Each structure stands twice: as structure tokens, then as C-alpha cells.
Amino acid sequence: MTRIAVYPGSFDPPTRGHEDLVRRSLGLADRLIVAVAVNVVKQPLFSVQERLDMLRAAIGDEKRVSLQSFDGLLAEFAKRVGATIIVRGLRAVSDFEYEFQMALMNRQLHPSLETVFLVPAVDLTYLSSSLVREVAKFGGDVRPLVHPAVADALARRFHS
Ligand code: PNS
């Protein structure tokens, strides 16, 4: 049986932390679907297509990874694509409450779906898309934190 995992998120933009989680997820699943949420409450900096393009550049041509966007409930999307695992990253205790609630709600909606939490490399634990956006906006160097294609996209967005 092919074990399919979904790694959902806003990825606005993808960071080295997301890339690390993609690599780690491949140890758990045969196929990984990185799923970009369309309808998140926040106002995104990048369009869904831009986020998919940045993810493609950052992840490269890994055959077991596919990229998709989804609208509506994650649990419904996971069911539709035949996934049995949701992967989420846990960086710090502050992530825990929201992630715990989300995992239980997704189980309520789709009982055979398991949420698995992965811890990123220790030197990436402080990293978040929102911090990367803020640093880039004020002209800080984000090149160590994101793929070069993402750094270029941020520079174009804020400083072109
Ligand atoms: O990277 P993020 O912003 O923390 O990802 C959050 C995301 C997109 C995974 C979450 O908001 C989500 O699953 N949205 C889809 C709508 C949904 O299913 N909401 C109920 C979650 S219990």
C-alpha cells in the first residue's frame, strides 16, 4: 500500500524550515503532497501560483513529492487525495496549542487521518514565514533563510 502524506501550509513564502520538513517527511511516507492553502484568513504576500513556483524551485525535482493547492477543508482535501498522514512542523511550545487543536479537529472530521509532528533542524527552529517577510520588507538579508528563488521573489516584491 502506498502511504501518502500531506504537508499543508500557507508557505508565504517557503523557508529553509519547510524544505527541511519536506525532506524529513519522505522518511515517513512513500509520497508527499505539499499542499498550499488557498483560503487562509490572512492576506498573503504571494499568490498561490507564486508560492507553488517557489516551492518547486526550493524542493527541486524530487519524484516522490508533488505540489498542489487546495481550497476549503484540509481534512476533505486529504481524503480526496488518499492521504492517511498530515505532517506539521513543531518549532516551539508556542506552536503547540494551535497545532493540537487543529490535529484533533482534523481527526474529528476524518478519523482515519493521523497528524504527525516533525521537529525541524535545531538551527531552523526560530524561522517562520512571517519573520522572513518582515526582515525582507525592511531590507535585511534573508538569503541564509530561504532558497535563492525565494530571496529573489522577496526582493522583487519589496524593493523593485
Ligand atoms: O502555514 P499555516 O498558515 O500555519 O497553515 C495553516 C493551514 C493552512 C494548514 C490551516 O489553516 C488549514 O488547514 N486550513 C484549511 C482550512 C481548514 O481545514 N481549517 C480547519 C483546520 S482544523
Cα distances (Å, whole numbers) of residue 130 to 13, 43, 45, 142: 8, 12, 10, 12
CATH of residue 134: 3.40.50.620
∠ at Cα 12 (27, 28), nearest 5°? 10
4-59: per-residue pLDDT in tens?
999 999 999 999 999 999 999 999 999 999 999 997 767 899 999 999 999 999 99
Residue 41: predicted pLDDT: 67
User: Residue for cell digits 498561490?
Assistant: 48
| Count of the separate structural domains present in the chain | 1
The catalytic site residues sit at: 18, 42, 91, 129
Please state the atom number of ligand 1 nearest to the C-alpha of residue 10.
1
Condensed to tens digits (0 to 9), the pLDDT of residues 67-124 reads 999 999 999 999 999 999 999 999 988 899 999 999 999 999 999 999 999 999 999 9
Give Cα separations from 158 to 24, 57, 80, 100, 151 (angstroms): 31, 20, 37, 34, 11
Q: For residue 15, what are the domain limits?
A: 4-159
Q: For 50, how many CA atoms within 13 A lie in the half-sphere containing its CB?
A: 14
Q: Whose CA is nearest to atom 9 of ligand 1?
A: 9
Q: Is 109 in the pocket of ligand 1 (CB under 6 A)?
A: no
Q: What pTM, to 2 d.p., does this model score?
A: 0.97
Cα separation, 15 vs 151, in Å, equals 10
- Whether the CB of 38 sits within 6 Å of ligand 1: no
Which protein residue has the closest C-alpha to ligand 1 atom 13? Answer: 74
Question: ∠ CA(72), CA(75), CA(78), 5° rounding?
Answer: 100
